[in-house]
Amino acid sequence: MSATILNGKAFAGRLLERVTEHVAVLKTEGIVPGLAVVLVGEDPPSQIYVRNKGIATKEAGMNSYEFRMPADTPEADLLAKVKELNADPAVNGILVQLPLPGHIDDKKVINTIAPEKDVDGFHILNVGRLATGQRAMVSCTPLGCLLLLRDHLGDLSGKDAVVIGRSNIVGKPMAQLLLGESCTVTIAHSRTKDLAEVVRRADIVVAAVGRPQMVPGDWIKPGATVIDVGINRVPAPEKGEGKTRVVGDVDYDSAVEVAGAITPVPGGVGPLTIACLLANTVTACCRANDLPEPEGLSV
């Protein structure tokens, strides 16, 4: 039997509708949420991400502030910019696009962002709040995965969940979120012994590794829900010489025959990240103004 395809693009569209509706409500109170994005240097993928974030922010009716700084910007100047944005009441969310040039300490920069404006959820206080079950700003990609899981499965309590990957951006916060939902969570990583056996017992598998199609269908427990975070570019000679295509960390064609539900790549987790960034900005704005938060867009 073929799995239910979890259409991340459609789900992200629904999240964005809710964000846009809430922005309209805030506007009736004379409040417009604002997201500031800072880009240092000219990394081409980062330029595309920043442009897309700006477009999506404006489409949702929010104010978008973009700051581009040269690659040789001294760390002190970037920290001063972050502090200026911390103090600006029109700015509810601050995102410093990563990676930063090598001479800048990214941890120092992230931990200089006011935690309540840290819409990426990377500040040490937000990481600690999430880990201790306190109200936090949560990293956008894992937040999107959790909202999608809740939407599909409802109550996650008691489910066996395996997160493959232990990065600070995806794996660890994802595991914390699932623990917060009362799942029994295993975090697997590059040193895990017998990964196949670990994955086989999971009702929920979240793969966030960055290795093309490394999880085959015969590792998946029949009926499990599979969230594939991986984005890997591989050669696609069938499309022509030098062409590539994007695949996930899960071997989709075999997994779709076993899983109960699965996210495709592309079109699964990918679109959720920007939607959750905007959701976090609205949440931050509501918290800053002591107004009710939109339901179902935060944890």
Rg (CA), the chain: 19
Q: Does 195 bind ligand NAD (CB under 6 A)?
A: yes
Q: Pick from 138, 270, 286, 299: which binds ligand NAD (CB under 6 A)?
A: 270
Count Cβ atoms within 10 A of the Cβ of residue 114 and give its class: 0-12 exposed, 13-18 middle, 19 or more buried.
Answer: middle
Tell me the DSSP string of 208-227.
-S--TT-B-GGGSPTT-EEE
CA dist., res. 244 & res. 143, Å (int):
29
Give the range of 63-71, 146-154, 160-168, 252-260 binding ligand NAD by CB under 6 A.
160-168
Q: Does 164 bind ligand NAD (CB under 6 A)?
A: yes
Tell me the closest approach of the beta carbon of residue 139 to ligand NAD, in angstroms: 9
Q: Which of 81, 97, 159, 251 is catalytic?
A: 97
Q: Does 167 bind ligand NAD (CB under 6 A)?
A: yes
Are 173 and 146 in contact, with CB atoms under 8 Å apart?
no
CA dihedral 110, 116, 120, 121 (to 10 degrees): 90
Strand partners, 71: none
97 is a catalytic site residue = yes
Q: Does 190 bind ligand NAD (CB under 6 A)?
A: yes
Give one word for 45, left, alpha or beta, with left for phi > 0 and alpha for psi -120 to 50: alpha
Q: Does 34 bind ligand NAD (CB under 6 A)?
A: no
Tell me the closest approach of the beta carbon of residue 232 to ligand NAD, in angstroms: 6
Q: Within positions 208 to 267, which residues make up the interface with ligand NAD, using CB under 6 A?
A: 208-211, 229-232
Tell me the closest approach of the beta carbon of residue 182 to ligand NAD, in angstroms: 24
Tell me the closest approach of the beta carbon of residue 172 to ligand NAD, in angstroms: 9
Q: Tell me the residue nearest to ligand NAD as measured from the CB.
A: 167
CA dist., res. 185 & res. 174, Å (int):
10
Tell me the closest approach of the beta carbon of residue 249 to ligand NAD, in angstroms: 6
Q: Does 18 bind ligand NAD (CB under 6 A)?
A: no
Are 140 and 280 in contact, with CB atoms under 8 Å apart?
yes
Site string for ligand NAD, 124-143 (x = CB under 6 A): -----------------x--
Q: What share of the chain is helix, strand, coil (3-state, %, to 5)?
A: 40, 15, 40
Q: Which of 81, 117, 118, 120 is catalytic?
A: 120
Q: Does 170 bind ligand NAD (CB under 6 A)?
A: yes
Q: Which is nearer to ligand NAD, 3 or 174 (CB)?
A: 174
Are 251 and 215 in contact, with CB atoms under 8 Å apart?
yes
Give the range of 26-34, 91-99, 101-109, 167-175 binding ligand NAD by CB under 6 A.
167-175
Nearest to 140, CA basis, from 2, 283, 275: 275
CA dist., res. 127 & res. 212, Å (int):
28
Q: Pick from 93, 115, 165, 294: which binds ligand NAD (CB under 6 A)?
A: 165
Active site residues: 53, 97, 120
Q: By the criterion CB under 6 A, which residues form the site for ligand NAD?
A: 141, 164-167, 169-171, 188-190, 192, 195, 208-211, 229-232, 269-270, 273
